[in-house]
Structure 1
Amino acid sequence: MGLTNFILTVAGVSAVVVLLRSDVKQSAAIFRRNVKHLRNWLEEESSAASKAAEATKPKEIDSKIPEKGVPKEKD
């Protein structure tokens, strides 16, 4: 009776380990796929942002207007 319980316990634990290993492998594969998608999206957004920054014309500073200094804080 004790040997039968031990064998059933080992078989049950082994089945759980096998199922968890395959579940972990699938989860890792899905995670890697999601990371690739996120990297692609970030690269597309950064390239779009750099193109948008290049397309905007920088403002020209009018040299006739004197610049006002920032008042210094007193201690």
Structure 2
Amino acid sequence: MFIPCMIGYGQLLIIVFVVILLFGGAKIPELMRGMGRGVREFKDAMNTDYSSENKKPNPAEAPGDKPADK
């Protein structure tokens, strides 16, 4: 039973060759730039503090405490 757990140099060269054939040499920098932006946005989202959004409302400002106007 063969379990492919490592990519060798031969397989890596074939993958790079296929990517260059599919996207062309001019598209590779644009593709990598877009991938970098996506990774950066993901990291920024992971580091964002959402505690202010999940903050419970102040009991003095709760909407149920105000008397209804008649």
Tell me the TM-score normalised to structure 2 length.
0.43
Q: Which has the higher contact order (CA 8 A, sep 6+)?
A: 2
Please say which structure displays the higher CA radius of gyration: 1
